[in-house]
Amino acid sequence: MDNIFRFADELGPAKIIHIYEREADLKAIVVVDNIDCGPAIGGVRMATDVTTEEVFRLARAMTLKNAAADLPHGGGKSAILADPKQPLADKERLVRTFARAIRDVTEYIPGPDMGTDEQCMAWIKEEIGRAVGLPKAIGGIPLDEIGATGFGLSICAEIASKFCHLNLEGARIVIQGFGSVGKNAARFLTAKGALLIGAADSQGTLFNPLGIDVKQLIKLKNSGKSVISYPQGDKLDRDAVIDIECDIWIPAARPDIIHADNVDRLKTQLVISGANIPFTEAAERICHERNIIVVPDFIANAGGVICAAVEYDGGNQTTAFETIAKKIRYNTTLVLEQVAKTGKLPRQAAVELAQRRICLARQDI
């Protein structure tokens, strides 16, 4: 816990809550980072190895993401320390217990995240009356089903590619983490003419320089198989995805995948951050020195939370896609123009953008 205090600054965190209920075997962490722009929206992660520091860093990413997207929401995050693949009945019991435990944390609006989904949000909504990323059947805009985050990544890549003189049509893409975000990013980007040549999941890496049939690969993944079950191409170890030469590299899994010890293995022109905090600060700095553009997570992967905010405001899927495209196109351009003009790191330019919008919100309070 002491490590968290060194991160505290003028933005937050506003509140850190540890939850323990022995009878339900519930261990959870909630961080409400900042609510200057409005109630905090942030996902509920389920994993066995999440730390308070990680939840805080993810909550801060949500603060910056929501502010940069000019949403009327602050940033928060939570984690349930449990196996997301446990029997469904046990998972439901745990999620409902967690929901009741945060009933009075009204400044926090839960959403889906790694290890949770629309069904989990429906359970939370039933318990406490607030959640986003709900199933379509109960009036939600299912983020994973429509691929909101992946769609936003494709918009970001379309804009960012122009800043490194890259033609998106025919661009070779590699995706680290072929889950919901990765699958949809591949789907939208290949629809724009890009070529998927590499994909990795927890079981290994698939590499085919001639291109991978995205529809077939998604079908395999949806059936519960690994990317290495795909019939054509080389089957490599999981970390080999870092070494594949490409034009666009997309991390779409866990935090801190790329750090000072492995960043030199990257052979790409452009990184579109699909995961939250996938690069350490040192790795981003090294990429900048090597003229690799790394579009920060809270700019590139904001599609999901923009969609969630539209849902919370009563909007529909059409409005969500229009809003995602508009906001990510504008913010990516704004940040990368600032980088080109000043030589600042993309993250620095993006943080300054978000901080300006938080300051404006504070003035309006």
Each residue's pLDDT expressed in tens, for the chain with a length of 365 residues: 456 677 788 999 999 999 999 999 999 999 999 999 999 999 999 999 999 999 999 999 999 999 999 999 999 999 999 999 999 999 999 999 999 999 999 999 999 998 999 999 999 999 999 999 999 999 899 888 899 999 999 999 999 999 999 999 999 999 999 999 999 999 999 999 999 999 999 999 999 999 999 999 999 999 999 999 999 999 999 999 999 999 999 999 988 999 999 999 999 999 999 998 899 999 999 999 999 999 999 999 999 999 999 999 999 999 999 999 999 999 999 999 999 999 999 999 999 999 999 998 887 65
Tokens 């999620």 correspond to 95
Q: By C-alpha distance, which of 263, 70, 258, 271 is closest to 163?
A: 271
The residue count for the chain: 365
- Is residue 52 part of an annotated ligand binding site? no
Contact 187, 250 (CB under 8 A): no
Annotation says 85 is catalytic = no
Contact 140, 113 (CB under 8 A): no
CATH top-level class of 148-357 = alpha beta
Q: Taken in order 51, 199, 155, 284, is the CA torsion positive or negative?
A: positive
Check if 15-61+75-135 and 148-357 are the same fold. yes
Q: Could you name the CATH architecture of 15-61+75-135?
A: 3-Layer(aba) Sandwich (3.40)
User: Where in the chain are the domains?
Assistant: 15-61+75-135, 148-357
Distance separating alpha carbons of residues 32 and 205, to the nearest angstrom: 36
pLDDT (0 to 100) of residue 4: 67
Distance separating alpha carbons of residues 64 and 22, to the nearest angstrom: 34
Cα distances (Å, whole numbers) of residue 194 to 55, 56, 146, 167: 34, 35, 20, 9
Contact 303, 310 (CB under 8 A): no
> What pTM, to 2 d.p., does this model score?
0.90
- Is residue 149 part of an annotated ligand binding site? yes
Q: Give CA angle at 281 (276, 287), nearest 5°.
A: 100
Considering only CA atoms, give the Rg of the chain. 19
Torsion of CA 168, 303, 58, 63, to 10 degrees: 120
pLDDT (0 to 100) of residue 159: 98
Angle between helices 52-68 and 346-364 (to 10 degrees): 70
Residue 174: phi and psi, rounded to 5, are -130, 135
How far from chain centre, in Å, is Cα 339? 22
Which one is catalytic: 27, 77, 91, 327? 77
